[in-house]
Chains A and B, each alone.
Chain A
C-alpha cells in the first residue's frame, strides 16, 4: 500500500512536471539595452538625452556647441536625421527593397559590405547559424536577413537613426552586457571614452577659445563610447575583423600609448606580421588553439582573456597598471604625489599593485602567458614590468618635486598670477562641486579662480591639450612630457616586450627630460635671485 501511494505521488509529480514543460513558455521579457545603465542621474542629462546640435555634452555642455560631426560620434546625444531628404515615407511603408535599390548606387560600398556580412546571410555557416538560432530564441524572432531597416529605421519617430550599441544590443545582448561591464573598472575604458573626452575642462575651454576643430584627434578616438563599429567596421560588422590586432591600432598608437608600435615591433607582433595569413580569425577567442590557430597572441587574445579559460567581450577587465598614469600605492613619494588624488572624487585612487584583486588579475595574466611560456618566465617578466613602473614613477616623483619646490619658493616664471588661469576655472567653480572635486581642490578654484599652478597626474595633463598665455610654462611642459609621454612609452615598450620603445622612447628620454627639468629649475632660481638682488 505504501509503495502504491509512493508510486501515485511520483506519477502525479511527473504529470505535473510534464504539464509545466508542455505549457508554452512565453519569451522572457528583457529590459532594453541601455548604455548608461547604472550611471548617476546627471549622466543621462549630459550624455544621453538628445539635444541635436544645440549644446555640447558633459558637465560643461553649456560652454561649447558641438561640431556637426559629433552627431556621428555620439549619436544618442547629437544625431539629427538629414533634413533635405525625408526618408519617413520609406519607413512608414516599410519598403525594405528600396533602401538597397537606391543605396546600391548612392553608396555601393555600403551595400556590398552588407551583402558579404553575417547580417545578410545569418545562417550561412554552421557557426553563424547556431549563434543566429540563439538570438532568435532570445528575441523571439525569425532572422533570415538583418536588413538596413532593422538597424536604421526608427519606426516610432519614423525617421532614420544612427545605430548605437543599444541597437546592436537588442540582438547581441551578451556582447553588449560584457561591454557595459567596462564601467566596473572605471576610466580609462571604451564605454566612458566620450565622457573622458568632454568631462575634462580643457576640452570646453579649447572650444571656447576657438580650437574646437583642433580637437578632431580627440574626438575620433573618444567616439568609441556608444558604437560597435569602432572595432567591427560598417557594414560588415565582422567578428573576425574585431579579433585582428589592426582593429585596435587606429587609436592605440602614438606618444601616450604606443601599443601598435610596441606590439607591432615586438617578437609577438613580428611573427604575426610574417605569418598573420595563417592565423584563423574566424575562430572565437575561446576556441583558439595557441600555436596552431595563432602562433603568437594578438591584442585581443591577451586583453580579452578574463580568467580560467574564459574570454570577455571587453579588453579592460584584467588591467592592473591601466594606462600607466595612476601612481602606485606601493611607493614612498617625496612630492605632492603622496597626497594623490588630493581628495578629487572623479579620478581613481592610487593603485595597490599587490592588492588581493590585482594579485588575482596577475594570475589570470599568467594563465594566458602560460599557453606558451613557462610560468616562472612569465611571472619574472611581469614582475620586471612592475619594477620598471616603480622606477618610472619614482623618477616622475623626483621631477615633480623639483617643479613643486620651484613653485613653492616663488621662482616659477611667469608666475601663476601673471598668466592665464587653469582651463575653464569659472566653469569648474560653477558646474562642479566639492562632491566631485573634494573640499580643498574645489575651494582652491573658488578662492583663487584658477590662478595657481597644477602639475602632475592627472589635472596637470591639461598642458598636453591646451596651451594658453604663458600657461603652462616651459618647465611644466617638460614635466608633462616626462610623465605623460616618456613614462607611458616606457611602460608600453616594457609591457609589450619591445626593447627599443622601452629604452629610446621611454627610459632614455625620461632621464634626459629629468636633467633638463633640473637645469631649467636651476636657471629659473638663478634668474630669480639675480632679479631680487638687482631690484634691491
Chain B
C-alpha cells in the first residue's frame, strides 16, 4: 500500500473513530451516569438476567448456559471477575459503566448482540447480578479508569512508528500475523484463562470487539484484555507509542476482503 493511500485510510478511519468516540463518550457514560445503576441485586435484574442472559451465560454465570456449548467464542464465565473490555488498568475489575457499555454495544464477531433491545434500566439492572457471580467484587474495588489523553494526530509517521512496534518491538505479528489476520505462527497455541483456545484478533475484519474508535483500540493496548493472553502495554510503551500502534492496526483493516 502506498503511504498516501495508507494515510487517507488512516484519516478515514480516524474520522470514523473520532465520530464513534464522540458517540461513546457522548452517550454511553453519560447515559450510564444518568442511569441509576443499582448497587444491589434486584428482582428486575434477576428476571432480566434469567430471561435474556442465562441461555448463554448460565443460571449461575458460569458461561455454561444451555446454548453455550456450540458457541465460539464461548460466552463469558463471570465467576472470575475477568472482563475483557474495561477502562481500568490491567488486572483490575471493570467499572459499572464498562459493563454497561459492553452490554449495550455487544461484542462484534461473537454472538453477544448489542442489547439495545432492552431498556436502559433493564441493562443497568443486570450489572449487580453479573457482579454477584464473582467473589472478586466483594473483596476488591475496580481501580480508577486510566486517563486517556488527547489523541496523537494520525500521520504517515505515526503509522510507520506503529508498524515498527508491531513488527519489531513487541512482535505482535507472532500472534496477530504479519498482515494482521490473526494467523501468526503462535496463533494456534493461544489459550484463555478458562482453558479455551482463543484466536488472536484479525484486524483486517475491522470489527474490533471492544469498539472501533481509536480510543477503544488505544484502551485495549493500555488495559489489556483480562482473562486472555493479550497483555497491557501500559508499561512497555509510552502513551504516544500506544497511539502509534493504534493507528497502525486500524490501517490494517481490509473490509472489502473480509465482507461476509
Partner-B contacts on A (CB < 8 A): 84-86, 89-90, 93, 95, 98, 101-102, 104-106, 108, 111-112, 115
Bound form: Cα–Cα A104–B71 in Å: 11
Bound form: Cα–Cα A115–B260 in Å: 8
Tell me the dominant secondary structure on chain B's binding face. Answer: loop
Residue of B52, B56, B65, B111 touching A89 (CB-CB under 8 A): B52
- How many A-B pairs have beta carbons closer than 8 Å: the answer is 38
B109 close to chain A: CB less than 8 A? yes
Bound form: Cα–Cα A108–B52 in Å: 21
- Which residue from chain A places its CB closest to the CB of B70 in the assembled complex? A106
Q: Write the nearest CB–CB distance from B66 to chain A, whole angstroms.
A: 4
Q: Which residues of A sit under 8 angstroms from B66, Cβ to Cβ?
A: 84-85
Residue of A84, A85, A98, A111 touching B113 (CB-CB under 8 A): A98
12 contacts between A and B (CB under 8 A): A85-B55, A86-B51, A86-B52, A89-B52, A89-B117, A101-B114, A102-B111, A104-B260, A105-B109, A106-B71, A111-B260, A112-B260
Bound form: Cα–Cα A101–B117 in Å: 13
Q: Which residues of A sit under 8 angstroms from B110, Cβ to Cβ?
A: 105
Bound form: Cα–Cα A85–B111 in Å: 13
Q: Write the nearest CB–CB distance from B107 to chain A, whole angstroms.
A: 9
Q: Write the nearest CB–CB distance from A100 to chain B, whole angstroms.
A: 9
Bound form: Cα–Cα A12–B210 in Å: 73
Residue of A95, A104, A106, A112 touching B117 (CB-CB under 8 A): A95
What is the 8 Å Cβ interface bit string for chain B, positions 162-201, against chain A (1 contact, 0 not)? 0000000000000000000000000000000000000000
Bound form: Cα–Cα A293–B260 in Å: 32
Q: Write the nearest CB–CB distance from A87 to chain B, whole angstroms.
A: 10
Bound form: Cα–Cα A93–B113 in Å: 15
B106 close to chain A: CB less than 8 A? yes
Q: Write the nearest CB–CB distance from B171 to chain A, whole angstroms.
A: 29
Q: Which of A101, A112, A115 gathers most chain B CB within 10 Å? A: A101
Q: Write the nearest CB–CB distance from A195 to chain B, whole angstroms.
A: 34
Q: Which residues of B sit under 8 angstroms from A112, Cβ to Cβ?
A: 260
| 7 other A-B residue contacts (CB within 8 Å) besides A85-B55, A93-B117, A112-B260 | A84-B55, A84-B66, A84-B67, A89-B52, A104-B260, A106-B70, A108-B260
Are A84 and B109 neighbours in the complex by a CB distance under 8 Å?
Answer: no
Residue of A86, A93, A95, A105 touching B111 (CB-CB under 8 A): A105
Q: Which residues of A sit under 8 angstroms from B67, Cβ to Cβ?
A: 84-85
Bound form: Cα–Cα A86–B66 in Å: 12
B:53-67 near A, CB below 8 Å = 55-56, 65-67
What is the 8 Å Cβ interface bit string for chain B, positions 228-260, against chain A (1 contact, 0 not)? 000000000000000000000000000000001
Bound form: Cα–Cα A106–B75 in Å: 11
What is the 8 Å Cβ interface bit string for chain B, positions 71-90, against chain A (1 contact, 0 not)? 11000000000000000000
B:35-56 near A, CB below 8 Å = 51-52, 55-56
Q: Which residues of A sit under 8 angstroms from B111, Cβ to Cβ?
A: 102, 105-106
Q: Write the nearest CB–CB distance from B123 to chain A, whole angstroms.
A: 13
